[in-house]
Amino acid sequence: MSLGENLFEPGRIGDLVLPNRLVMAPLGRARSDLATRAPLERVATYYGQRASAGLIVSEATHVSPFSVSRPGGSAIHTQAQIAGWKQVTKTVHRQGGRIFQQLFHLGRKAHVERLPDNRIPIAPSAIAAIGDVPVAGGLAPFPVPRALETGEIQGIIDEFHLAAVNSRAADFDGVEIHAANGYLIDQFLRDRSNRRQDLYGGSIENRARFLLAIVDAAVNVFGASRVGVRISPHFTQDGIDDSNPASLYGYVAQELDRRRIAYLHVIEPDTIAPPERIAPHLRTHYSGALILCGEFTHESGERALTERRADFIAFGRLYIANPDLVARFRLQAPLNAPDPATFYSGGDEGYIDYPSLTPALAEVS
Ligand SMILES: Cc1cc2nc3c(=O)[nH]c(=O)nc-3n(C[C@H](O)[C@H](O)[C@H](O)COP(=O)(O)O)c2cc1C
């Protein structure tokens, strides 16, 4: 297939017009201050280098002091964190870019050792994730979490609300609610991790209630046109799963459509065989902008746009290694290869030192 111009056409997300169809996928890189969890100066440099993306979605950012993952993870619940993120948004905006902040809570994927007062991680039900979590001195199995009392759930929704207020104070253009990859919201959505018998468990409507309350809280802060949602219907690592993903995510898509949010961001690796794809089904329930992510290349991304399977394509690992991915695609220039050894290693190496094209070449784009 010859490469068309689709990825380089402007597109609309909410009330924003993006100059192209490339989205930088959310990528946790463990480069925040170890004590304060505020982004360091190099974080502003990193996102600024990638500002030619149509839209940047920030790394997953913890909404609560009781959501703590690996050292260097970032958060947005203190004034120091807001001040750090302000430098990031300022740099991206100065470079002409747009950036949404991804908001999340780990839920059962936290570890007692990392949480303040050695608290037990929380979840919809007391069911441990399958697998290991990094702790001091190595890996430990995920602990059995504590099931939230019904009366505690509003408190977590309030943490997301306050995080959205803080994102706005830090001048983000919007927020993406992280309902993917087995974290707290995903744990509520799916029936293998949610065995509750109250208003937040059982039926699909009940399991989606937590997500939709968080979306409504974010919409109250930013307006619907600046709120996106990320889901991962095929993600079953960590023992998370659902007995009927098409119905579950179909309902979620329909409710998000009613709310007229900015976009739905679906992780559906392009390698998934067409009969097993869920995104085309979601398209029939959701009429807003659809972002697809997962193993896309320039060519397969163009194809998904041409076939109207997506409105935007998010690139993850390619954005780690290619700050000027838009220019490289446009010129069909060679791509830098990402180095997994430096994904979470801290420091500048493998973070802000991936080379851009020489200025002379990039100007042609
Ligand atoms: C180092 C790394 C960090 C990631 N961090 C996040 C994250 O913070 N939030 C999220 O939703 N997904 C995260 N992901 C998943 C990516 O957003 C994306 O879905 C995945 O890399 C597949 O896209 P790709 O094939 O273009 O890389 C991460 C992936 C990688 C490799």
Q: Where are the alpha helices (DSSP H) in the chain?
A: 41-49, 79-94, 150-169, 184-189, 204-222, 245-259, 279-283, 298-306, 317-321, 325-331, 359-364
Q: How far is the C-alpha of 37 from the C-alpha of 64, rounded, in Å?
A: 11
Q: Would the CA dihedral through 221, 222, 225, 228 be positive or negative? A: negative
Asked about 286 being catalytic, the answer comes back as no
Tens of pLDDT along 316-347?
Answer: 999 999 999 999 999 999 999 999 999 999 99
Give the Cα-Cα-Cα angle 19, 225, 65 (nearest 5 degrees): 105
Q: Is 155 exposed, middle or buried (0-12, 13-18, 19+ CB in 10 A)?
A: exposed
User: What is the percent of the chain where pLDDT is above 70?
Assistant: 97
Residues with beta carbon inside 6 Å of ligand 1?
25-28, 59-60, 102, 178, 180-181, 230, 267, 293-296, 315-318, 343
CA 364 to ligand 1 center in whole angstroms: 30
Domain limits, the chain = 6-364
- Give 4's pLDDT tier (boundaries 50, 70, 90): low
The count of residues in the chain is 365
Nearest protein CA to atom 24 of ligand 1, as residue = 316
- Give 365's pLDDT tier (boundaries 50, 70, 90): very low
Tens of pLDDT along 185-237?
Answer: 999 999 999 999 999 999 999 999 999 999 999 999 999 999 999 999 999 99
Give the Cα-Cα-Cα angle 95, 162, 182 (nearest 5 degrees): 85
Atom nearest to 60 CA in ligand 1: 8
Domain made up of 6-364: CATH architecture: Alpha-Beta Barrel (3.20)
Per the CB < 8 A criterion, the answer to whether 191 and 104 are in contact is no
Structure tokens given for 204: 């699909």
CA 56 to ligand 1 center in whole angstroms: 13
Atom nearest to 317 CA in ligand 1: 27
Nearest to 288 by CA among 14, 8, 55, 53: 14
DSSP SS3 for 77: coil
Q: How far is the C-alpha of 291 from the C-alpha of 288, rounded, in Å?
A: 10
Q: What is the mean pLDDT of residues 57-71?
A: 95
Contacts of 190 (CB under 8 A, 6+ apart): 207, 240, 241, 242, 248
- How many CA within 13 A on the CB side of residue 116? 5
DSSP string, 258-276: HHT-SEEEEE--TTS-GGG
Q: What is the mean pLDDT of the chain?
A: 96
Among 22, 23, 27, which residue has the most ligand 1 atoms within 8 Å of its CB, making it the best to mutate? 27
Q: What is the mean pLDDT of residues 72-78?
A: 97
